[in-house]
Amino acid sequence: MLKKQLKLLDVYAISTGTTLSGGFFLLPGLAAEQAGPAMILAYMIAAIATLPATFSKIELATAMPRAAGIYYFIDRSLGPMIGTIAGIGTWMALILKIAFALIGMGAYLEIFYSDLPIVPIAISFAILIGGLNIVGAKKSGKLQVILVTGLLIILVGFISLGIPELNQVHFKNFFNAGSSSIFATAGLVYFSYVGVMKVVGLSEEVKNPERNIPLGIYLSLGTVFLIYVLGTIIMVGVLPMSELSGNLTPVASTAKKLFGNTGAILVTIAALLAFVSVANAGTMSASRYPLAMSRDKIFPNFFNKINKRGTPTLAIVSTVSIIILILVVFNPLKIAKLASSFQLMMFGLVCLAVIIMRESKIDSYDPGFKSPFYPYLQIIGMISSVALIVVMGWLPIIFILSFVILGTIWYWNYAKDKVIRNGAIYHIFERLGKARYGGLDTELRGILKEKGLRADDPFDHIIARSHVIDLKQKSEFNDLVDIASQWFCKFVNHTSEEISKLFLEGTRIGATPVTHDIALPHLRLKGFKRTEIVLVRCIDGVHIKLNNPLTDFKEEDEIVKAVFFLVSPESDPAQHLRILAQIAERVDQESFNGDWINAKDDHQIREAILNEERYMLLEVGKDNSSENIIGKQVIDLNIPEGCLIIWLRRDDKIIVPRGNTMINKGDRLTIIGDQAGMKKLKEKFSA
């Protein structure tokens, strides 16, 4: 696993930095050549056109935060052959974009240094950025933040000082180019926004991806939209169309007209920051493709090696080596335009991937963000992607076909015999009576465990109100099923016999997980209002017979020390799986076994299950930090929002506290709450 080192600011900086480059510093002159002043409108239209792919990528990234996002999404939805084509093609397309960015610096540097050796400088930057990426994503993320901060400061100054200098005459005859030219120009500048989504290739390294990926992308998209629109208004309003049309350094020309050579120098610095930012973030993203494909046996295993800093050294070195080869042998300025067509095809497939993942009805597909207007937005995204590729002409289509052929040949000759999985599309076939690949559901359940609970998941409350059975002698699983079912039938219109039958059926079909001497029988029942759990402790052991799916469903005998019966509403399968995953994560922790065995009563048994990050035991008066609450009522304790005292132990009695309950010295408070509130509480009482 790659280390989770990227925070919200890193996501924003990577997303913004990969977008504000050629689309702002090079393309406006070419766009003005086609659409005149209406190129401003073309940039607005292009932003809207990116929304289907943007929403689809965010949904997939929050459900499956894995390295090389597009490859992983397409592989797990459409299968490994299409995934191979997507992986190889996108890796090469990103490499070409990086080489384009490094060479693109030349257009601005030539303003002041016409004889500068551009290719050697580009190679030097490629090596430097590659080395920084090897050191770690955290350091690359910090560089990205610095680059983007400098870039935004200069661009905000450019826009702020340029607005008062606008010449309204330049906006006359705004629509003279015609609607067809405006839409064609929107297709040209469409790729100015696609960098916003490259950060999903790093989603495995993002902390709290369900929050930080969507929020980071939204903030970035809003930022670049404002800069593109306001920036192009400044360019049109300052430069006559005769000077702007076809200009390869439109921002520098505008700044020079406004502020002289000083302005031109500043925006040239901004352009260099933008291009280096693209190269840095692009290298981070591109290098994760060979890593992810190596994990999946599509590429050789050596790409999967991760150094002690948590970065894929060989994947980065190979990526940088190919960048250098392209810089030396080819003209990246010409080839990179073709790479955009392949990315466009990937956007269409990403929209299709969302449809497949949703229609597969896999319970463990659990995105933190769901795309609005499903499936219409995805259908529009697929159609528009195909339409834009067709408009681009035959050369881009040939380029796409070449990678389709290359990926197919590689898959059939190298990867086919090594890969043993299929995509989610097989789950749709299963619904039609054909086949499915159960391994994908297992893989997604592993991702659920890694992502953990959501802020609104009531896990701690479920444990706090759980029914506890503490057995003092060896027992049979079937007897426990009867006892637990009698308790559950109070909450639903099912008899205890019906519930018992469902639990026992789960053990026969291999649906009862057993790990670390703990069995986890679980159900989802129609009509059940809220999730409930029965915790059974039996130190002498519970005998259980179950059919193990890993041994062709042969019947096995197990002795476990705990059984957790979990029943949830049928309507929320994803939350049910997240709660199961949280229990599995807790029992995996080293502290669990001791806490479980040494628990003295029902309340300590419950406390052994609680999430350590979301629960706290406070012994009043044990240290100076808690002495000041002695003699206060619960209502006056100033507990952080989102936290709750669920019970209070005084001597050997358990008290459910009310607002007027007085706190005494020696009381032991059990407090649960969200991570933010618990962090404040622990800081307060550890001082």
Helix axis angle, 51-63 to 69-78, nearest 10°: 80
Tokens linked to 155: 């661009």
Peptide bond preceding 37 in cis form (omega within 30 of 0): no
Handedness of CA 62, 68, 71, 75 (dihedral sign): negative
The reported pTM is: 0.70
Running DSSP on this structure, what letter comes out for residue 239? S
State which CATH number among 3.30.230.70, 3.30.43.10, 1.10.3720.10, 3.40.930.10 fits the domain covering 459-610.
3.40.930.10
Compute φ and ψ for 617, nearest 5 degrees.
Answer: -105, 130
Nearest to 61 by CA among 53, 69, 71: 69
pLDDT given for residue 443 in this prediction: 64
pLDDT given for residue 234 in this prediction: 93
pLDDT given for residue 111 in this prediction: 66
pLDDT given for residue 107 in this prediction: 63
Residues in the chain predicted with pLDDT less than 50, given as ranges, are 433
pLDDT given for residue 293 in this prediction: 87
pLDDT given for residue 232 in this prediction: 92
pLDDT given for residue 409 in this prediction: 92
DSSP string, 421-488: ---THHHHHHHTTS---HHHHHHHHHHHHHH---TT--HHHHHHT-EEEEESS-EEHHHHHHHHHHHH
Running DSSP on this structure, what letter comes out for residue 530? S
CATH number of 8-414: 1.20.1740.10
Handedness of CA 380, 386, 391, 392 (dihedral sign): positive
The strand pair at 532-548 and 554-569 is best described as antiparallel
Domain ranges of the chain: 8-414, 459-610, 611-687
CATH superfamily of this structure's domain 611-687:
Regulator of K+ conductance, C-terminal domain (3.30.70.1450)
CA distances to 115, 468, 618, 670 from 604, rounded to whole Å, are 76, 10, 13, 10
